[in-house]
Chain A
C-alpha cells in the first residue's frame, strides 16, 4: 500500500523568505502526486499535481514542486512567501486502487 510522510509538522518562515515543504512517498509504481492547501475552517484547494513528464511542476499562487524518483520525494517550494500563504499543506499520492492517501500535513506560519 502507498504512504506519504511529511516530516515537518510545523514550519515558521518570515514573509519574503523562501519556503520548502518536504514530502516523501512510498509506492511501487509511478506515483501520481498532489499538493493541497487548507486554510483554517476551509476545505482543501489543489495547488499542483504530478502525473508524468517534466519533474518540475508549476502550480497556483507561485508554488512549484519537484518530483525526484531516486529520493521518493515531491517537495513543495516557493521563492518568496506571503502572509496569505499561512495555512496547512498536505501532500498526497494516488495508488493502484485510485485512492488518495494523505500525509499528516505541515502547518505553515508566516512572520511579518
Chain B
C-alpha cells in the first residue's frame, strides 16, 4: 500500500491569500491525483498527472493549479483563496500500468477553510 502524505492537515486562512497544499508519496507511483470533497458529498477529480511534467484538469473545474516537477511531489496552489474554496482536498497516487494494478491510494486530506 502506498505511503502518501499531505500537509497541512488543517488550514484556516483569509481571503486573498496564496496557499499551497503539499502532497508527497514514497512509492514511486507515476500517477497522482487531486480530489475535492465537500462535506457529506462525493469526491470530484480536479487535477491529475501521469508523470513528471504532465498535468491535466479533471472533471470538476477548479481555480487551483498543480505542478509535477518530481515524481514523488504533486503540490496544489491557489493564487488567491476565496470562501468558495473551502473544502477538503484529497491527494491520491497509483502505480499505473494495467488496470489491475492501477489502484488509487489516498492521503489523509487537507481540510481548507477560507474566511
Chain A residues packing against B (C-beta within 8 Å): 32, 34, 36, 41-46, 49, 51-52, 90, 94, 98-100, 102-105, 107
Do most interface residues of chain A lie in helix, strand or loop, or is the interface mixed?
strand
B59 is an interface residue with CB less than 8 A from chain A? yes
**Complex interface: chain A residues within 8 A of B12 (CB):** none
- Is the beta-carbon distance between B41 and A43 smaller than 8 angstroms? no
B34 is an interface residue with CB less than 8 A from chain A? no
Chain B residues packing against A (C-beta within 8 Å): 1, 6, 33, 40-43, 45, 48, 58-59, 90, 92, 99-100, 102-109, 111
Cβ-neighbour of A90 out of B42, B103, B111 (below 8 A)? B42
- Is the beta-carbon distance between B102 and A44 smaller than 8 angstroms? no
CA distance A102 to B33 in the complex (A): 14
- Say yes or no: A36-B106 contact (C-beta < 8 A), given A51-B100, A99-B59: yes
Show 28 A/B contacts (Cβ-Cβ < 8 Å), sorted by A. A32-B100, A41-B109, A42-B108, A42-B109, A43-B90, A43-B106, A43-B108, A43-B109, A44-B92, A45-B106, A46-B1, A46-B103, A46-B105, A49-B103, A51-B100, A52-B100, A90-B42, A90-B43, A94-B99, A98-B102, A99-B59, A100-B43, A100-B45, A100-B104, A104-B41, A104-B42, A105-B40, A105-B41
- Is the beta-carbon distance between A44 and B99 smaller than 8 angstroms? no
- Measured CB to CB, the closest approach of chain A to B37, in angstroms, equals 9
**Complex interface: chain A residues within 8 A of B33 (CB):** 100
**Complex interface: chain B residues within 8 A of A43 (CB):** 6, 90, 106-109
**Complex interface: chain A residues within 8 A of B45 (CB):** 99-100
CA distance A74 to B88 in the complex (A): 27
CA distance A94 to B100 in the complex (A): 10
CA distance A44 to B111 in the complex (A): 14
- Say yes or no: A102-B103 contact (C-beta < 8 A), given A42-B108, A43-B90, A43-B109: no
CA distance A81 to B40 in the complex (A): 22
The residue of chain B having its C-beta at the shortest distance from the C-beta of A104 within the complex is B42
**Complex interface: chain A residues within 8 A of B105 (CB):** 46
The residue of chain B having its C-beta at the shortest distance from the C-beta of A36 within the complex is B106
